[in-house]
Amino acid sequence: MSVGLMPEGPPASRFAYVTLATNADYALGALALVNSIKATGTGADCVVLHTAVPEAGLEPLRQVGARLIGVDLLDTSTEFNATHAREALHARAAFTKGVKPPFHTPLDNFAKLRLWQLVEYEAVVFIDADAVMLRNCDKLFAYPEFCAAPNVYESLTDFHRLNSGVFTAQPSAETFQLMLDRLDRPGMFWRRTDQTFLESFFPDWHGLPVFYNMLQYVWFNMPDLWSWEEIHILHYQYEKPWQDHEKAGRLRPLIDIWRGFAGQGPRLDIASLPAPA
């Protein structure tokens, strides 16, 4: 067993979709994500890495067939932890385009690097727990490491930046150790935590189409880019679909999709949904 990992049961496939749940809120998100992935007919495992999730949040994930793997946070230094604590990070690099929920803890994001320890898998696709899959994405398992979609939700000028909500990876103990060696060095500050780190670690990252990580703000910021026929993964960046937030009215069709996969409403027929107004 790899240090820092506590798996429940063996793998059932050589491939896995992997997500990370660090509290009860993200466990609820992971439940909707796993349901959405399984609805596409995949034969890959659905793995949920989890840290501080209560048992009440884990049991529903077991019941829908997720493979649960408890993980420790990375053993980073006191200086690193203080620099990347929520208040310290937001003071230096405030989010100005949207609102991060109160249960978002930036330091926890680095735990997703533990997916490189999942060496029982030949290839994995990581998906943030605040996302749902609308179309089968199994072909991504044949893509190289490291592929990610651009961080596009406001304008096309952001095509040069990746969004780490969806990416392809090939687990490797050697890669994981190289990451640890580079991550926590004196004075190091990763402005957008794992996202900035991965962009630095994989400077020649391959671009996925935005439809494999369609960020929800595209719905009202760039409606001409929205295409229900092409979207494979819908990602609820910033405000979450299970929250009561000020943008909920504008994002209602997208929230209703999530609610269907979370068991909080009917599952919608994506083909019948309207285009952005």
State yes or no: pLDDT of 178 exceeds 80: yes
| Average pLDDT value for residue range 92-96 | 55
Beta bridge partners of 117: none
pLDDT tens for residues 217-230? 999 999 999 999 99
Helix and strand totals (H; E) in the chain: 8, 11
Compare 92 and 184 and report the one with higher pLDDT: 184
pLDDT band at 2 (very low <50, low <70, confident <90, very high): confident
Least confident of 59-63, 175-179, 188-192: 188-192
Instruction: Please state the separation of Cα 98 from the chain's center in Å.
Output: 17
| Average pLDDT value for residue range 235-251 | 95
State yes or no: pLDDT of 192 exceeds 70: yes
DSSP state of 153: S
Q: How far is CA 236 from CA 33, 104, 117, 229, in A?
A: 11, 13, 27, 18
Q: Which pLDDT score, from 0 to 100, does residue 84 have?
A: 81
What are the residue boundaries of the structural domains of the chain, listed by start? 5-272
All residues at 6 or more sequence positions from 247 whose CB lies less than 8 Å from its CB, including other chains: 98, 239
Is domain 5-272 annotated with CATH 3.30.450.20?
no
Beta bridge partners of 21: 50
Strands ordered across the beta sheet of 131-133: 131-133, 233-235, 214-215
Q: How far is CA 15 from CA 64, 119, 187, 245, in A?
A: 18, 10, 37, 36
State yes or no: pLDDT of 101 exceeds 90: no
Q: Which pLDDT score, from 0 to 100, does residue 5 have?
A: 96
pLDDT band at 277 (very low <50, low <70, confident <90, very high): confident
pLDDT tens for residues 138-163? 999 999 999 999 999 998 888 889 99
Q: Which pLDDT score, from 0 to 100, does residue 263 have?
A: 96
All residues at 6 or more sequence positions from 160 whose CB lies less than 8 Å from its CB, including other chains: 150
Report d(CA 60, CA 30) in Å as an integer. 10
Q: Which pLDDT score, from 0 to 100, does residue 83 have?
A: 84
Compare 78 and 210 and report the one with higher pLDDT: 210
Bond before 146 cis per omega within 30 degrees: yes
pLDDT band at 191 (very low <50, low <70, confident <90, very high): confident
Q: Which pLDDT score, from 0 to 100, does residue 43 have?
A: 98
Q: What is the mean pLDDT of the chain?
A: 92
Measured in degrees and rounded to the nearest 5, phi and psi for residue 29 equal -60, -40
SS3 content of the chain, % helix, strand, coil (to 5): 35, 15, 45
| Average pLDDT value for residue range 98-116 | 80
State yes or no: pLDDT of 93 exceeds 60: no
**Residue 26: both structure tokens together:** 């993200």
State yes or no: pLDDT of 168 exceeds 90: yes
pLDDT band at 252 (very low <50, low <70, confident <90, very high): very high
Beta bridge partners of 46: 17
pLDDT tens for residues 4-24? 899 999 999 999 999 999 999
